[in-house]
C-alpha cells in the first residue's frame, strides 16, 4: 500500500496565494492531504471550507506560541491558552493531531531535570485538553543546523517523555530530516519509538530540500518506516528548490512502491 503524502502548505504551493488557494493547488496536483503550521492568526473557517471543497484532509497543525518551558520563572499562561485555542482549531479543521515543540534548553539546569519538567508540562497539557480527540505530539528537532539551542534534539528523549506522560493522546513526531541531521540511525530510532510514533515528516539531507536533492536513500527509508509498522501519512516539510508540484514527483514515485 502506497504511503499517503501530505504537503506542508506553509512551504509548498506558495505560488498559489493564501492557504485556501494553496490547498486548492495541492488538490489539483493530486494530493488529498495537507499539513500546516500555526492556526491562531488564520481564518480557520476558510481553510476548512477549502479543504472540504477539494476533498483534502488536514493531517497536522502546530501549537502556538512557542515557549521556553524550563527557564526559571517562565509563565506558561500564554502557552496553555494558545494550546487550548490550537486544539479547538485543529478539531475544527479535522486535524487529528497538534505538534508541540520543546523550546530552548536552559544552560543553568541539568538536562535530565529539564526533560522531567517537559514531561510534567505535557502531562498537564493532556489534562487541560481532556475531552478532545486531537492528539498532542512532541517533535524533536536538530540543533546542528536548523534549531541551535533547542532542548529536545534526540528521538529517544521524546520517546522517554511520551512514556512518562503515559496517555493515548500523547505521542511523538519523527522527522527523518532532523533525525539524520543529528546523526541518528533511523531504523534504530523507529524501532525504539514503537507505539509512541504518531506522525512522520520528511525532507532530504543535507539541505532540507525535496526528496531527491540530498543523500537520503528514499526507497530504503520508506522501507524502514514500513518495517517499523508506520502506515500513516508522510508530511512533506521541506523547502522546494523547484516549482512545488515538480518538487513532489520523485517522492511520489517512491511512495507508490513503498
**The pLDDT value given to residue 8:** 99
Q: What are the residue ranges in the chain where pLDDT is below 70?
A: none
* Domain range summary for the chain, segments of one domain joined by +: 19-211+218-240
Mapping DSSP to helix (H, G, I), strand (E, B) and coil, where does residue 7 land?
strand
**The pLDDT value given to residue 201:** 99
Q: What is the pTM of this model?
A: 0.97
Buried b (16+ CB within 10 A) or exposed e, 141-172: bbbeeebeebbbbbbebbbbbbeebeeebbbb
Note every long-range contact of 215-218, with CB atoms under 8 Å and residues 24 or more positions apart, other chains counting: 216/176, 216/180, 218/250, 218/251, 218/254
Cell of 9: 502548505
Angle at the Cα of 75 from the Cα atoms of 72 and 78, rounded to 5 degrees: 145
> Are the C-beta atoms of residues 114 and 151 closer than 8 Å to each other?
yes
Question: CA dist 93 to 59, 124, 187, Å?
Answer: 9, 24, 33
CATH superfamily of 19-211+218-240: Divalent-metal-dependent TIM barrel enzymes (3.20.20.150)
Amino acid at each position: 500500500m502506497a504511503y499517503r503524502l501530505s504537503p506542508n502548505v506553509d512551504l509548498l504551493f506558495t505560488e498559489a496565494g493564501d492557504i485556501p488557494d494553496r490547498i486548492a493547488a495541492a488538490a489539483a496536483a493530486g494530493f488529498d492531504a495537507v499539513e500546516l503550521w500555526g492556526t491562531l492568526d488564520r481564518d480557520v473557517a476558510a481553510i476548512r471550507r477549502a479543504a472540504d471543497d477539494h476533498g483534502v484532509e488536514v493531517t497536522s497543525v502546530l501549537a502556538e506560541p512557542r515557549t521556553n518551558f524550563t527557564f526559571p520563572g517562565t509563565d506558561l499562561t500564554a502557552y496553555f491558552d494558545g494550546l487550548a485555542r490550537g486544539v479547538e482549531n485543529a478539531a475544527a479543521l479535522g486535524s487529528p493531531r497538534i505538534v508541540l515543540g520543546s523550546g530552548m534548553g536552559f544552560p543553568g539546569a541539568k538536562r535530565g531535570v529539564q526533560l522531567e519538567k517537559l514531561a510534567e508540562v505535557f502531562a498537564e497539557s493532556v489534562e487541560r485538553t481532556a475531552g478532545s480527540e486531537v492528539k498532542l505530539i512532541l517533535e524533536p528537532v536538530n540543533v546542528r543546523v536548523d534549531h541551535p539551542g533547542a532542548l529536545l534534539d534526540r528521538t529517544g528523549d521524546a520517546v522517554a517523555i511520551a512514556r512518562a506522560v503515559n496517555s493515548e493522546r500523547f505521542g511523538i513526531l519523527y522527522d527523518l530530516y532532523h533525525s539524520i541531521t543529528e546523526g541518528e540511525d533511523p531504523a534504530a530510532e523507529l524501532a525504539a519509538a514503537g507505539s509512541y510514533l504518531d506522525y512522520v515528516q520528511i525532507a532530504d539531507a543535507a539541505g532540507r530540500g525535496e526528496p531527491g536533492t540530498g543523500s537520503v536513500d528514499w526507497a530504503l527509508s520508506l522501507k524502514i518506516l514500513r518495517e517499523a509498522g508506520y502506515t500513516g501519512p508522510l508530511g512533506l516539510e521541506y523547502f522546494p528548490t523547484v516549482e512545488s508540484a515538480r518538487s513532489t514527483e520523485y517522492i511520489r514515485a517512491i511512495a507508490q512502491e513503498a
